[in-house]
């Protein structure tokens, strides 16, 4: 027997082909992105890139559950539709990137992790939801990204 939830989830996975979600930290001085990449197969990889052009996907980490992936993908799409740009200056920034390769669309949000304001609150909350599902920590420069810091 198939429930409505699993039907929606399987539809979500089929419709998310060619979607990449990246999140982590960006260092302005080094111009390096560090974090995770989640592809449309729900696979999680560690990720680093210089200037978002020289991408290095390294270690396979895990796979998100279908329901978690679909829920977070939906929240990510809705948040980027609501707030198309968020870019705050700082040395170490957290980011979420949504890329739909088939639509040639890439959206990014950057914020200073130590600050919480109206502009970054929703992105920061979404970032934390992703972190809670990621099984592996990545050592980042500002140390603000470790799971122990998540409330």
Tens digits of residue pLDDT in 110-145: 988 888 777 788 999 999 999 988 876 555 555 545
Note down the domain range covering 89.
Answer: 4-149
- Cα–Cα distance, 113 to 120 (Å, whole number): 9
User: Which 3 state secondary structure label does DSSP give 100?
Assistant: strand
Size (the chain), residues:
151
From the list 59, 25, 23, the residue with the least C-alpha distance to 43 is 59
pLDDT per residue as tens digits for the range 30-80: 888 989 999 999 999 988 888 756 777 678 888 999 999 999 999 999 999
Q: Tell me the mean pLDDT in the region 25-34.
A: 89
Q: pTM (2 decimals)?
A: 0.81
**Based on the structure, what is the number of domains in the chain?**
1
Helix/strand/coil for 98: strand
d(CA 100, CA 107) in angstroms, rounded, equals 9
- Provide Rg for the chain, Cα atoms: 15
Question: What CATH number does the domain containing 63 carry?
Answer: 3.30.1560
| Cross-sheet strand order for the sheet of 19-27 | 54-63, 43-50, 32-38, 19-27, 92-100, 105-111
């Amino acid at each position: 027997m198939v429930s409505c939830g699993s039907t929606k989830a399987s539809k979500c996975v089929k419709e998310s082909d060619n979607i990449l979600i990246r999140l982590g930290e960006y260092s302005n001085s080094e111009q390096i992105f560090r974090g995770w990449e989640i592809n449309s197969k729900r696979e999680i990889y560690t990720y680093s890139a210089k200037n978002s052009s020289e991408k290095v996907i390294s270690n396979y980490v895990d796979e998100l559950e279908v329901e978690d992936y679909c829920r977070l993908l939906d929240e990510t799409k809705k948040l980027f539709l609501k707030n198309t740009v968020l870019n705050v200056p700082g040395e170490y920034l957290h980011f979420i990137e949504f890329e739909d390769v088939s639509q040639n669309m890439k959206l990014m949000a950057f914020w200073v992790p130590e600050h919480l304001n109206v502009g970054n609150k929703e992105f920061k909350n979404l970032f934390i939801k992703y972190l809670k599902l990621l099984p592996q920590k990545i050592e980042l420069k500002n140390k603000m990204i470790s799971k122990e810091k998540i409330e």
